[in-house]
Amino acid sequence: MSHLLEISGAYLSFGKKRILENISFKIKTGDILGIFGRNGSGKSSLLKMMFGTLPANHIQIKFDSEIIKAHEVIPQRLIGYLPQDSFLPKGTKVRDIISLFCDDEEMQNKVFYAPGVSKFDNIKVGKLSMGQLRYLETLLVGSLDHPFIMLDEPFSMLEPLYKELLKELLISLSQTKGIIITDHYYHDVLDITNVNFLLKNGNKIEISEKIDLVNNGYISSI
C-alpha cells in the first residue's frame, strides 16, 4: 500500500539565529530522499522535528493527507529513526539484540539472515566495527513496520563492504517504505536516491545531480 508524507512550513530558530525557514517537501513510499547540507545547516534538527523529539517553532506533518501532530509520530509508528549516535547497549551480543528488538520470528529472521550478519552475530555490540554497527542498526530500524524511515549519516565511517551492503538494503527497503537520508558521503547517497535537496542558509535548494552541489557551494568540484 502506498503512503504519502508531507512536511510543510518547517521553521526553527535558536534565539535570533535562524536554522530552518519554511522548509516543505513530500515523500511517498518507494522514494529515497537525500538531504544535504554542511554541519549546522539543520539536517539533523529537521529529522528530530519530524520525529517529535525537538520542539519546532512551526511544522505541519501530514500522513496520507491527515494532519499529524509531531508528538503523535512515535506512538502511531509512522516513522522509524536512526540517529547519528548508536542506541544499542554495547555489552549485549548481536543475536540477543536482534531477539529483543524484533517483535516476532519473521522480523528476527529477516535480520539474522540478512547478508553479512552471520559474520558478527555472536559478537558484543561494543566490539563491532563502525560498518557492522551502522549496518546492524539500519537492519533493525528497517525491520520495523513503519512506512517511513529516517537515517542520519548511515554511511559515516563505513568500510566499502558495508557501504555496498547498506545500499542494497536501502534499495530493497524502498520497495515498501519511504526513506530519508542525511549524509556527507554524497556519492553514496546519490547512488540510491531519486530525489534530493540541499539545506543552505535556512532554505531548501532542489538538487538533481552532482553539479548542483558544486554550483550551490556544498562541494568544490565533482
Per-residue confidence (pLDDT) for residue 7, from 0 to 100: 98
pLDDT tens digits, one per residue of 77-105: 999 999 998 889 999 999 999 998 887 88
Mean pLDDT, to the nearest integer, of 43-51? 97
In a domain, 179, yes or no: yes
Q: In the predicted model, is pLDDT for residue 221 greater than 80? A: no
In a domain, 24, yes or no: no
How many structural domains comprise the chain?
Answer: 1
Per-residue confidence (pLDDT) for residue 68, from 0 to 100: 95
CATH number of the domain enclosing 155? 3.40.50.300
Strand ranges (E), 30-119: 32-36, 58-63, 66-68, 79-82
In a domain, 195, yes or no: yes
Query: Cell triple for residue 119?
Result: 559474520
Kindly indicate the confidence band of residue 158, based on its pLDDT and cuts at 50, 70 and 90: confident
In a domain, 189, yes or no: yes
pLDDT tens digits, one per residue of 131-157: 899 999 999 999 999 999 999 999 988
In a domain, 203, yes or no: yes
In a domain, 64, yes or no: no
DSSP H helices, the chain, are 43-51, 94-101, 105-112, 130-142, 160-173, 186-192, 210-215
Closest CA to 179 of 68, 35, 58, 22: 35
| % of the chain exceeding 90 in pLDDT | 86
Mean pLDDT, the chain, rounded, equals 94
pTM of the model: 0.94
For residue 130, the enclosing domain spans 30-51+77-215
In a domain, 130, yes or no: yes
Mean pLDDT, to the nearest integer, of 162-180? 95
In a domain, 16, yes or no: no
Distance, in Å, from the CA atom of 104 to the CA atom of 136, rounded to the nearest integer, reads 17
What are the φ and ψ backbone dihedral angles of 169, each rounded to 5 degrees? -65, -45
Per-residue confidence (pLDDT) for residue 222, from 0 to 100: 65
Find out whether 10 and 56 touch, Cβ atoms under 8 Å. yes
Q: DSSP label at 102?
A: -
CB burial of 141-158 (b: ≥16 within 10 Å; e: otherwise) equals bbbbebbbbbbbbbbeeb
Helix, strand and coil in the chain, % to nearest 5: 35, 30, 40
